[in-house]
Amino acid sequence: MGFLVLGTGGSVPSRAVKNDELTLFLDTDDEWISTRTGIRERRVCVGESITDLAESAARAALDMAGVKPRELDFIICSTVRGDKAFPSLACLLQERLSASCAGIDINAACAGFVYALDMADVFMKVRGYKRVLVVCGEAMSRIVDWRDRSTCVLFGDGAGAVVLGPSDDRFISRLSVTGDWKVLYADNSTGNSPYAENSEGCYVRMNGQEVYKFAVSAIEHDILYLCGREGIRPSEVDFFLLHQANRRIIDAARTRLRLPEEKFPVNIDRYGNTSSATIPLLLDELNRAGALKPGQRLLMSAFGAGLTTGSCLFRWQTKA
Partner 1 sequence: MVYEKIAGILAEYKGMDVGSISADTSFEELELDSLDTVELLMRIEDELSVTLELEEAMKTVGDLVKAVEAQKDGGDA
Q: How far is the CB of 248 from partner 1 (least distance, A)?
A: 5
Centre a 10 Å sphere on the Cβ of residue 33 and count the other Cβ atoms it contains: 23
- In the set 77, 110, 136, 152, the catalytic residue is 110
Q: Which of 136, 273, 287, 312 is catalytic?
A: 273
**What are the helix and strand counts (H, E) for the chain?**
9, 13
**Contacts of residue 292, Cβ cutoff 8 Å, sequence gap at least 6:** 239, 286, 298, 316
Task: Select from 23, 28, 36, 288 the one that contacts partner 1 (CB under 8 A).
Answer: 36
151 lies in the binding site for partner 1 (CB under 8 A): no
Closer residue to partner 1 in complex, CB, 210/230: 210
Figure out which of the listed residues 15, 213, 288, 297 binds partner 1, where binding follows CB under 8 A. 213
CA torsion through residues 248, 297, 314, 61, sign: positive
Of 243, 246, 287, 312, the active-site residue reads 243
Answer yes or no: are the C-beta atoms of 210 and 183 closer than 8 Å: yes
x/- mask, partner 1, residues 228-267, rule CB under 8 A, reads: ------------------x-x---x---------------
Residue 273 annotated as catalytic:
yes
**Residue 189 near residue 21, CB atoms below 8 Å:** no
User: Could you tell me the smallest distance in angstroms from the CB atom of residue 251 to partner 1?
Assistant: 10
- Determine, following the binding rule CB under 8 A, whether residue 217 of this chain makes contact with partner 1: yes
Q: Give the nearest distance from C-beta 300 to partner 1 in angstroms.
A: 23
| Active-site residue, 221 included | no
Output the 3-class SS for 4-73: EEEEEEEECCCCEEEHHHHCCCCCCCHHHHHHHHCCCEEECCCCCCHHHHHHHHHHHHHHHHCCCHHHCC
Q: Which of 210, 230, 269, 285 binds partner 1 (CB under 8 A)?
A: 210
Question: CA 135 to CA 76: how far, in whole Å?
Answer: 6
3-class DSSP state of 246 = coil
Residue 176 near partner 1 by CB under 8 A: no
What residue ranges bind partner 1 (CB under 8 A)? Answer: 35-36, 208-210, 212-213, 216-217, 246, 248, 252
Residues designated as active site: 110, 243, 273
